[in-house]
A and B are shown apart, each in its own frame.
Chain A
Amino acid sequence: MPDPSLRFVVALQAEARPLAERFGFEPLSESHAFHVYRGERGWAIVAGTGKAAAAAATAYLHLLSGGEPGQVWLNVGIGGHSQRPVGDAFIAHKIQDGASGVSWYPPLVVDLPCPAAPVLTVERVEEEYTPLWVHDTEAAGFYPTACRFSTSELVQCFKIISDNPEVTLERSPSSSFVERLIRDNLDRIESFGNALLGLARELAALAADPPGYREILARWPFTLAEQRRLRRLLERLAVLAPLADPRASLGPAAKRGRDVLSALETRLSEIPIVIARPAGIPSDAVR
């Protein structure tokens, strides 16, 4: 499984450009249903406005980027607020679809680079703002869609205030204005994305094959049930004898998968079980 990377979903080209610069993304040359950027650190897609477009672009990017689960998904965009000044940034702790009333609560398990706030997804840019909510047009389309492809802790919305009762968006905001708002928050976006990538890597490591698994599968035949047993035996071996080569005890006598399993069982039974703090770690490290 490839190393987890970032997936940005934005509404506007002006939001995508500063992200692409910061994260080293290049626009894909071939024609796609959406503007898509790609780089070593991940992908960005320009959805257009509206929750349906956001949902469609999220699903499109998932498939285009390989369909791997466990990636970091970030909806970055602008929004309105009844009180907060232009330029303030927020992470969504609650997302509500204004049309249906359905709510989602993104779990926030890393340090946040800015305050958290509820986000209300509306059908069009509002000139009246429900107090305390950040008003946007994408989050309620993006979030439930991305949660189909990743665990919810890795799916987040980062919103920057672009309008309030004193600075309304009667016309579409200029590209340069939106770009500046995003650019001013790139450090926060990057640190947040990196923190989420740390979580994604932790989960990816859990799902990784134990040492020797692929090599053994390639050499001996196993039924599906035996493959599950093999995985678990190798996981146990990796814990009990982390430096051991799992193939070392599998001599030429092993003809079938079950011979391999038997040899691994025997080897595991010879390793004493020791439950103790690893040397060098103080006892209060876990208290």
Chain B
Amino acid sequence: MGNTTAIKRPAGVTGSILTSDTAGASAVAAAPFGEALVKAGRANPRILGMSADLSKYTDMHIFAQAFPHRFFQVGMAEQSLIGMAAGLARTGFVPFATTYCVFATRRAYDFIAIGAALGKANVKIIAGLPGLTTGYGGTHQGIEDLALMRALPNMTVIDPCDATEITQAVPIIAAHPGPVYMRLLRGSVPVVLDPATYQFELGRAKLLRPGKDVALISTGLMTGRALEAAAQLAEKRIDAAVLHLSTLKPFDVESVAALIKKVPSVVTIENHVLRGGLGTAVAETAVEAGYAIRWKQVALPDCFCVSGSIPYLTEHYKMRSGDIAQAASSLFE
């Protein structure tokens, strides 16, 4: 071995716990949310930024630097964050409040429900570390936030796919009156969707790929993996459609129903626990429409996930593109 000063790490420790998940991305964009908010802020002076001691970790610091007098730091106090945002909204501002999914939804839920949702206050909650985008375990992984937010009347819920969608969504949700919860991908964010051809629309699903054998219905960053899975399935002569729903609420029942009527073999794919998110919403749609579907889910199991590197967690919880292709293939076995 010779003389070496290198620290020997046990197998599996990659040191990537704090990095963004850009594995396999052919292109990335830096801090798309922060950049988009600055741009929106220039166009609309009523837009404000807020954070609960996580501005640097939610790309909000870019807005804070651009508009120091329009940024409110509230410290580690999520109830104060949302309550204050609701008060600012009631004086005609459009506050964008950032923290992590877990802290926004678990700690400040009552403040979101009563301060923001009940009276449709114009509060935008932008929440980082959705699902398996952090290596920290149950304390930091937002695995059930979509279910909690979907259950709230008046709430709009968005899980964007990539940098393109975040960039497009920010001015749209700023212009949309009422409370919005959007999951955040921060730092170096993959570019999956072509900005020249993709256009985010609030409440509308997008058919990214037509197909007649199996419907891959996905949300959030999992849509990138669903597209990869569709390519893998094509090699096996399985023709997969990919329907991307970044808006979980209001849910685009029409687009989902139209697809599953034509293609009743369905895989739902989400960076979220099995119950209460996209899969549940698709199942509700099928049952309400009276369509018998064959259904597999690619989602996180009904448990708190362990800590670890993101590649390890992605493999461990079967959230890779290959796992999606496997789930789809199993519908034909």
A, B: real partners: no
Residues of A at under 8 Å CB distance from B?
Answer: none
Residues of B at under 8 Å CB distance from A?
Answer: none
